[in-house]
A and B are shown apart, each in its own frame.
Chain A
Amino acid sequence: MDSLQINGRAVGLPTDPRVSLLDLVREHAGMHGTKKGCDQGACGACTVLVDGERVLSCLTLACQARGREVTTIEGLAADGALHPLQATFVACDGFQCGYCTPGQICSAVGMLRELKRGVPSHVTADLAHDPALTPEELRERMSGNLCRCGAYNGIAEAIMEYAK
């Protein structure tokens, strides 16, 4: 099984193990929604879901995702229709230039799954109880996604609106 699934499509593993998952998605599979920001794990623009968990594709070697299911921003929207979270990003002005947006949206989808599972965060006061999505929890949990336009208020509003 020398392949992985990207948005339901089988993609062969690279022969050179230096290829990152990010470069496999963009340059080998030709899906350009996932963005390369810092390429060193500091900005979150390259966030994708691997088996449903949000990870940084720039620091993942493609060969480490062998046999796994990768979902990028292209895979969230079914049949050309906007994913509901994409729609609230549009409605709430959750971006300016849009470069960080695919990573923000993939990250938010993974973040809401973590919350549903009861994963605590740095701002969770009581570790014994599963946290709810307060504005403080949302901002802490999205801190791995930078937006240099500073559209954070719109981003937070869009995620909160979708999570309702």
Chain B
Amino acid sequence: MNPFTYVQAHDTADAVRHGGAAGAKYLGGGTNLVDLMRETIERPETVVDVTGLSTEIAELPDGGLRIGAAARNTAVAEHRAIRERYPLVARAILAGASPQIRNMATVGGNLLQRTRCAYFYDGAAHCNKRVPGSGCDAIGGRNRYHAILGTSGSCVASHPSDLCVALAALDATVHTDRRTIAFTALHRQPGERPDLETTLEPGELIVAVELPAFAMRSTYRKVRDRASYAFALVSVAAALAVDGGRIADVRIALGGVGTVPWRARKAEAALRGQPATHAVFRAAADAELADATPLAHNAFKRELARRTIAAVLGELAS
């Protein structure tokens, strides 16, 4: 780990004053950043600890919830309002990492966690995300865990977060020290610049995530290589409202298959107003996955995603 200066931020203004300096990084629970610093993939000169900022989970007048960015994952997943009104959020968090990591990880940090692509972690490998312009060893390498949606000739790394998939489905909003961003506009697809992962400006600090008022039935399902403590091969966050046998409203987002938390708008468009049948669910999944560009070892994800989408919608419709 390279040397750095550690600063504990007292409030948002204090954090941004330090975080705006060149070479500064905000630190949440450390479950991703500390690991990356130890591998010298991240080499901040100043680490600004923002875990002392707001952890509050507050009811909003319009029926939504505002979650302070320093709230720990466990605190969000165990919160009564989250469990009752946003089960897709609680289930997404509980499907991620281990209990110890969920006790440490913050909501703000979760939004900014970096890919688990093995070539990104391997200093001897070519990686455009780690060293822009150096190439991508994953494209012709071991790419079973990699993305099939939103990829480019520069990067095929999948986004690792579970929580982000639920937030993408929910149309959550991200509050920073200076503005409000739609959650689905926070992450950038790799294109030619996979090193640029979000639309945040240098030094911009996420201070809260807002969940809109929400009444649909919802859940999160994660498919992985082992029953617990593994990253997703495919995951689905979905919400469904059926009225008189027809789909009145629907939200779907996918994890494990996209370079960003993947909002499945094509599938949603294919579902609205249609009868809530398995055939319609399968056709909607096909519509979303028609754009998939599988690699040598991850073509299975297309079929796995189709089946998981249909199964989750079937569960919500029953």
Q: Which residues of A contact B (CB under 8 A)?
A: 16-18, 20, 39-41, 44, 47, 53-56, 59-61, 63-64, 66, 107, 110-111, 114, 117-122, 124, 127-128, 139-141, 143-145
**Are A18 and B94 in touch, CB under 8 angstroms?**
no
B6 contacts the other chain (Cβ, under 8 Å)?
A: yes
How close is B262's CB to chain A, nearest CB, in angstroms?
A: 21
From the candidates B30, B38, B99, name the one contacting A54 in the complex (CB within 8 A): B99
From the candidates A17, A41, A107, A110, name the one contacting B35 in the complex (CB within 8 A): A41
B274 contacts the other chain (Cβ, under 8 Å)?
A: no
Most buried by B among A55, A121, A128, A139: A55
**CB-CB contacts below 8 Å: B1-57 with A:** 1, 3-6, 8, 27, 29-31, 34-35, 38, 47, 49, 51
**Are A18 and B228 in touch, CB under 8 angstroms?**
no
Most buried by B among A47, A66, A140: A140
**Are B98 and A144 in touch, CB under 8 angstroms?**
yes
**Are B6 and A44 in touch, CB under 8 angstroms?**
no
Most buried by A among B5, B98, B227: B98
**Are A144 and B100 in touch, CB under 8 angstroms?**
yes
**Are A144 and B229 in touch, CB under 8 angstroms?**
yes
**Are A59 and B228 in touch, CB under 8 angstroms?**
no
**Are A41 and B78 in touch, CB under 8 angstroms?**
no
**Are B104 and A114 in touch, CB under 8 angstroms?**
no
**Are B31 and A59 in touch, CB under 8 angstroms?**
yes
Q: Quick one: closest A residue to B37, CB to CB? A: A18
Q: How far is the CA of A53 from the CA of B73 in the complex (A)?
A: 13
**Are B84 and A128 in touch, CB under 8 angstroms?**
yes
B165 contacts the other chain (Cβ, under 8 Å)?
A: no
How close is B313's CB to chain A, nearest CB, in angstroms?
A: 19
**Are B99 and A111 in touch, CB under 8 angstroms?**
yes
How close is B223's CB to chain A, nearest CB, in angstroms?
A: 13
Most buried by B among A53, A60, A122, A139: A122
Q: Quick one: closest B residue to A118, CB to CB? A: B78
Q: Which residues of chain A are within 8 angstroms of B297 by Cβ–Cβ distance?
A: none
In order of increasing CB-CB distance, the 3 nearest A-B pairs are A144-B98, A17-B6, A143-B228
B134 contacts the other chain (Cβ, under 8 Å)?
A: no
Q: How far is the CA of A21 from the CA of B120 in the complex (A)?
A: 26
Most buried by B among A18, A59, A140: A59
**CB-CB contacts below 8 Å: B191-249 with A:** 227-229
**Are B100 and A107 in touch, CB under 8 angstroms?**
yes
B180 contacts the other chain (Cβ, under 8 Å)?
A: no
**CB-CB contacts below 8 Å: B77-111 with A:** 77-78, 83-84, 87, 90-91, 94-95, 97-101, 103-104
Q: Which residues of B contact A (CB under 8 A)?
A: 1, 3-6, 8, 27, 29-31, 34-35, 38, 47, 49, 51, 74, 77-78, 83-84, 87, 90-91, 94-95, 97-101, 103-104, 227-229
How close is B290's CB to chain A, nearest CB, in angstroms?
A: 31
**Are A40 and B38 in touch, CB under 8 angstroms?**
yes
**Are A44 and B100 in touch, CB under 8 angstroms?**
yes
**Are A120 and B30 in touch, CB under 8 angstroms?**
no
How close is B119's CB to chain A, nearest CB, in angstroms?
A: 17
How close is B244's CB to chain A, nearest CB, in angstroms?
A: 27
* A128-B84, A143-B228, A143-B229 known; A55-B6 Cβ under 8 A: no
How close is B239's CB to chain A, nearest CB, in angstroms?
A: 15
**Are A41 and B101 in touch, CB under 8 angstroms?**
yes
* A41-B35, A59-B35, A60-B30 known; A114-B100 Cβ under 8 A: no
From the candidates B4, B91, B103, name the one contacting A55 in the complex (CB within 8 A): B103
**Are A56 and B104 in touch, CB under 8 angstroms?**
yes
Q: How far is the CA of A107 from the CA of B227 in the complex (A)?
A: 19
**Are B83 and A121 in touch, CB under 8 angstroms?**
no
Q: How far is the CA of A155 from the CA of B233 in the complex (A)?
A: 29
**Are B51 and A53 in touch, CB under 8 angstroms?**
no
**Are A64 and B229 in touch, CB under 8 angstroms?**
no
**Are A54 and B3 in touch, CB under 8 angstroms?**
no
Q: How far is the CA of A63 from the CA of B87 in the complex (A)?
A: 35
Q: Which residues of chain A are within 8 angstroms of B35 by Cβ–Cβ distance?
A: 40-41, 59
Q: Quick one: closest B residue to A54, CB to CB? A: B100
**Are A60 and B104 in touch, CB under 8 angstroms?**
yes
Q: How far is the CA of A21 from the CA of B27 in the complex (A)?
A: 15
* A119-B78, A121-B94 known; A55-B104 Cβ under 8 A: yes
